[in-house]
Structure 1
Amino acid sequence: MHREDFQSLDPKFAQSLVDIVASELKKNVNITDDRGVILASFSKERVGQVHEAAAQRLTSGNIQEFSVSAEDEIRMRGVRRGVNVPIIFADRCVGVIGVTGDPETAAPYARLAARFVEAALESNANREKLMIALKEKRELQTIFVNKIISIQEEERKKISRELHDETSQSLTSIIVGLRVLAEVVTSKAEREQIMQMRDLVARTLDAVHHLAVELRPLLLDDLGLIVAAQKYVDHYCQQYPIAVDIDFVNLSREQRFLPEIEITMYRILQEALTNIAKHAQASHVQVKLRRQRQRLCLTVSDNGIGFNPDFTSKSGTRLGIFGMKERVELFDGIFAIKSLPGAGTEVAAEIPLANKKNKKRIW
């Protein structure tokens, strides 16, 4: 119910107000719309009838309190003896509320009832306004987060390709040059120095290659999520003393998804495995990536020391978890963490594949 777009009283809302007012006042109460049709009444059989006295007042523009006498009750349709007070909301009359009984004694009750209805309408409109503002804020936040991730991924992709295409090639050329130089020199000491330099450059090349993969694996763009995930797990097992089993269900190596979905799932896998290596003290990890109907689901579970998810969320630590959650929620997906101290951890993410939002995403 928007103040500026207000058309008429909602019948259900009006009936709930009538029930409340009638119960409090112990009186028969009714509410009409702005044309004099009874929207709500303590006597339910009156709903839908035209309150002739209210209709005459409302159509004439004479918007003010009026009473109905015993003679009016006999002479007019749909009226009962009592007092009727206009309901003013957003600077216009949206209807009339009537309290039956002797006009002199009913008048204070009718005025009180009108003020109550007006206050309820005001409260309802303010609540609706706050809900709209909150929705707009969330939409803006989603756009903002989406844009940040878009910029981050583009920068990662750019730097990764520069490291792969330029820095790696330059380092490779240096290694080749040092090998040639080592074969030319005659001094054994100089040759050993050159070979040490070559080994250092080779280690630097490996580090650059690892950094490029961490930033944005070329396999992800070229061959897709399945191949990139398997390659990442293989490299992870070489780097850390942790056994990782990865299982693909209802998926093939050639299967592709929207680029933004693939990079989101890859980042969650990457973040989850990184957290395990840093914090979990685990010896075994189970990764499952599956397509289930129109959803892509990822679970990463370990046999590590676990933690208290409630504590980390309340204390504001582990921003990586917050980042994973935000990425999934951008797709109207589901993100969850199950963990207990001493009982391991499971990270689960589900993203719907058929979603209008996914088709509009820019990154």
Structure 2
Amino acid sequence: MDIPDPARASASLPAAINSISTDWRACLSTLNRIAHLMAQHLDLTALLQHALVIISEDFKFSTLRLLLVNRPEADGLICRAGIGPATLPLELDTLFPPDQGIIGAAVQLRQLIWIDNAPGLSHLAIPIIISEQLEGILYIESQRQVLADDSTNLAIVADQLGVAIENACLFDQLQHHLAETKLMFETSHNISSARTVAEVVAAYLNHIAARRRYACTVVLYEFDAQGQFVARTVKGRWSPEHGLSSHHDRQPHERDALDDLLDAGETVTIADVRTDPRVAPSLRRMQEAEQRLAMAFIPLIVRNQRIGLVVLTAAKPHAWSQADLHPYQVTAEHLAIVIDNRRQQRLLYAHGERIAVLDERQRLARDLHDSVTQMIFSITLISQTVTSAWQRDPAEGERRVNRLIELSQLALAEMRSLLTDLHPIEREHPQAVLYAQPTPSSAPDQPSKLLQRLHKYATEVIGEQLQVSFDTTSYEQQSAVCEDALYRIIQEALNNVSKHAQASHVAVTLRVHGNRLILSVQDDGIGFDQSSQSVSQGLGLYSMRKRVEACGGTLTMTLGATAGTVVQAIIPREAPHVRSEP
């Protein structure tokens, strides 16, 4: 048994301790400096490059590379940072196969590989593992002698580097989500304030496309009654060469190999239209003519239906990355919703216009019926009695002729007023308005003399045809608008009795009861057929009902207890929501 020389042992011990201490100090320095990097919230690329500089300075290595697994494909490793010239083909941002050489061995074995394959040159490949998943390789070439302690310390550094990479990735994800949220907010603000589809598309292109390097086109579809595509229209385009342009190129739509994928909501990318077999010949010819060889299609989906596309193009063949597509993809859904909302608003507005036209037609029909038609009916009744009245008393005959002239003039004025509503003639012939102005007695701020008007109408128009009696003892004067509505209602009711009831007497009762105004018109005629639609759907009854409803009341028409018909209107005495139109 050999016994060590105490003198030699005591001489070599300080050198060994000093070597161990130096290596450990380098390891501690690297760990501390990488931890400091983590606290600075650097992005991943900057952190990796700074970390290699630290390792190179502390461990005296001249060549280092840091490779990360290419996610999500996991088809190799991407060189993300480097220092010094390397003997392996490890250029930045290039893909390295996961099964070649020392790096491939470290990937497969998931452990440190150390090779001295030439004098004065050592190779180390150290796996970086995060949560039991391989994330990358730290590759080192060293011209100095690599010791066992170096490999141990570098393994510890690799673990710390894994923690730093994980934190940087989480920080990048947070920044990505914040940027995405900001982009969504800004896009929402810009396009939501646009009023039309064209303005929405222009706002989208100015905000999203104009910040990037690809030409962007928004295409919308037109549908037939069965919901099938019939045409596509370019609504707007932005390109780096020409900026924003409002093209409205409309072409018939023909289904091709891309439609099924787009209908499913998938983004379709084409690196080169000349070589992709899915590209229709017509699209290939068009893109070659425009010298836009790479394309990406992002569908606009609303309620499970594709309403359009966001189309990206590039001049040269291009392998589209997720980073290229992401800004357009995250905003496409909101763009589709806003476009659909504007379309629905346009349809609703058009529907509202049609309803407004119908309402206006009904109003004009009601006004014609209540004014001009009633005057013509009055003219007819009076003209039938002029001859007999003249024979009995020329003065009475002359009075009735004068009444005919007065009614004719009133009818003409009413007709001119209605024509003015249809066509505002004051813009072309201001003087013509003078002939359509209401008389002072019909001004809305001067209450009309309802009872006098009713008695005059009953005497001069209805009198010889029908006996009319009035009970207005408990009536109190109402507003001019309300009294005009009452006059029109009673006028229509008396005319209906005169024309249809075959009655000899009609009683008109007008009274105030509490907070209600009650009108009743009852005749002793033949009544009406309750099953007849012509009665309930007649314009006269419709007009009366609308006028009562305008005053906040209700109108009913029933058979009398013994004979005839009873028309009754109940109106709030003081209705604050009475409309000013007659």
Q: Based on CA coordinates, which of the two structures has the bigger radius of gyration?
A: 2
Q: Which has the higher helix share?
A: 1
User: More relative contact order in 1 or in 2 (CA 8 Å, sep 6+)?
Assistant: 1
- Say whether the fold is shared (TM-score over 0.5): no
Q: TM-score, normalised by structure 2?
A: 0.29
Q: TM-score, normalised by structure 1?
A: 0.42
